[in-house]
Structure 1
Amino acid sequence: MRAEIIAVGTELLMGQIVNTNAQYLAKGLADIGVGVYFQTVVGDNVSRIKESLHIAKGRADLIICTGGLGPTQDDLTKDVLGEVLGQKLVIHEPSMNTMTEMFQRRGIPMVESNARQALMLEQSDPLPNDTGLAVGVAVMHEGTHYILLPGPPKEMKPMFDRYAKPWIESKLDHVQPLYSIMLKFAGIGESALEHALIDLIEAQTDPTIAPYAKEGEVAIRLTTRASSPDEAMTRLRPLEAEIRGRLDEHIYAAEDITLEQQVLRMLAESGQKLAVAESCTGGLLSDLLTAVPGSSQSFLGGVICYSSTLKHKLLGVPMEMLEGPGAPGAVSEETAAELARNTLRLLEADVAVSITGVAGPGESEGKPVGLVYVGLAHRNGQAFAVKLQLSGNRETIKLRAAKSALYHLWKTIKS
């Protein structure tokens, strides 16, 4: 079954809200073996919604629309679908009763326009709304399946999970579900990753290999259709093993989690405490770590030592290392290692990481933009530093430096 998602709402086109519904629906459909081939966003306009439905009908077996089911004049989705399919709109009495009782309990008069939310197509199956007022619609017409869902995610998600998904499954003819393994990589770029796996990518049939990239991390999803999880794993595991054999030093997880989540998990499992010292990243590494719930179990905190004065006064880096003739400078291997070593000692941590570098836009100490050193220290080993030469603008360099620090921290904890 081929599916298309149509998100209705001018606010989406204007960038006022983000279309998270499409992502949620696409994943939910994939779980039951339905592939989403197209996603469309259309404004609150009768002719454009109608055109989108006609286009979708020519290329999809299942069309799911979100939005436009509310009480106002620009909530047009049911009206337009009714016109396209030649079906009248009728009141769904249970929804109408629920709505009437709710207004009575609150002591608020129900205006006439609210009744629009209880409308459904005369030949459709109603999809109850457990968290809102607008009833959903599921209908099959001339071989095409249509589902209308509300736009607010708090209403859309439970309606889809509880009612729309079972309705779709009842229409499927023995379609095998999709099973996937997600491999997460760090310390390697998308191009280098593809080069290492190009023979597998070019020869792929089943399972399929799909790469995904975002700043500082890359992921590969291995996917197959199977009648059971055991059958799926029989196909997926050999391919996973082959990829691990080539790139194991970069695979930090076999699930869809961030690098900072994995680092904190490993620290928690081993009972270790982390502290950081940040110069050019200005606290970004700490922000990534503390964005993870429960990070306080393993993350002690850190110091933003942007100036040489603070590097010296707070973390004990000798001034002769930071400034003066022949000094390595604030941006150097020596300073990065010293920052990590002293942070470990002063904050009484088990592992410490430091970042010092040139984020730009201009040079510093005569050193180029993008030159960054990551220092690492562990209570059971010697402090050391890793040199990076990063590219991009100031924000990009800061993020890449923080992610690189997490990668080398992961390697240190792992070893």
Structure 2
Amino acid sequence: MGTPAAQHYDRRATSRILARLAEPELFAATEPPTPVRILFRTKELQREPETGLTQSQRMYLERFMRPCRPDQVTSATHRLTWTDSAGIPNTGYVHTGGAGPTLAIVAREAVLALWDSLARSGLGGRAAALSGHDHEVLAATTTDHDPHEIFRVGVEAAGRALVQHGLIAADTPYRGIAAFARGMHDSGIFTAVATRWFWELQASTFRRGMIPVRFATQPDSTVRYTAESVAVLRAMKEATIADARAVMARATTEEGLEVEAAVARYHDDLDLISRQYALLPADTRPACLAASPHEGGSVLAMVAERFVDTVVALVDSVAVVEDTTDEQPGSASGDDGIFYVPDMSCRHCVRTITALLESMEIPVVEIDLESKRVIARIRSLRNRFRVFEALRDGGYNPVDEVPAPVPGASVG
């Protein structure tokens, strides 16, 4: 038998493996964009007058974002829903003073284009050639153990970061989607997210349509986080690390659990407890695996640059039109047990959603991460309503299947 994967938890080694897999070129050439017309809907968020946040946002802030205050957070004004060119339902958030719905929709199309490019890049062959030890390191250190999935999630995270900062686009001198995307890249915002934020904060606040930072414009027209934003991000990160270490110390001493058993027990029960912090040595600070510098740069820089280039290339080929009809989309399948969770982005999300449904005594039949589809034995419309409400409380936005867009339409 091989050595247990727990003995191979190694963030530095994982970073080197990912950098090696990204050589000589992570992405194949993207196909020329096909014009597409995409309909979207918006719904105004009900924000509490005293905080300016929705109830879900406020509850998440109070539980997981200490010492961040409500006034340090910008909330979206509207929730956005649409179906992308691959026929997959999506949700997002926009601010009336921000970048608008086009940014979220074009960013999703860029994700799809780069996923296709990634599949054609030869990454699969390089991953298959990894040693057994390298595979064990990836399995022990990352949430998505398969290299292809790791890079797919990285592409989606780039889109998330760009769209989330669109909520505060009014803080910047950039006007238009292309200029905003270029400005975020040139200002180093993708790196700032990777190094100053922690993963769960970025993913969970994105799903809830909130962002706990503001921008300050520099003399060279780039933007940086304000000093207050940097301070609150640092404080939240330090509190999260302290929480993770306290839980692990209690689990391995008072409860007598082995490390792997402790991680398995608390990974799903507490949103912020994961390998990223729970297994770090006491004197070690967390660092983004993709942001670590290697010869020729970093994986993060490679992904961010290609993502922004793809967004810019797609701007003129995606026609975004608001659907103002009174009809609301319903389930095309007619099956109460099939629905979609558009903001499900990684295996951690799959585990979280599975655990939630099973806690409600609803068996999960299948969760397909690529299509965002969930099949569960819900059995009744009443239970379906309960499931949707529970998922929304967890920061997810389940939807019924909606009509596909019309590919190839004139973009006018």
Q: TM-score range by the shorter chain?
A: under 0.3
Highest Rg: 1 or 2? 1
- Greater relative contact order (Cα < 8 A, sep 6+): 2
Greater per-residue helix proportion? 2
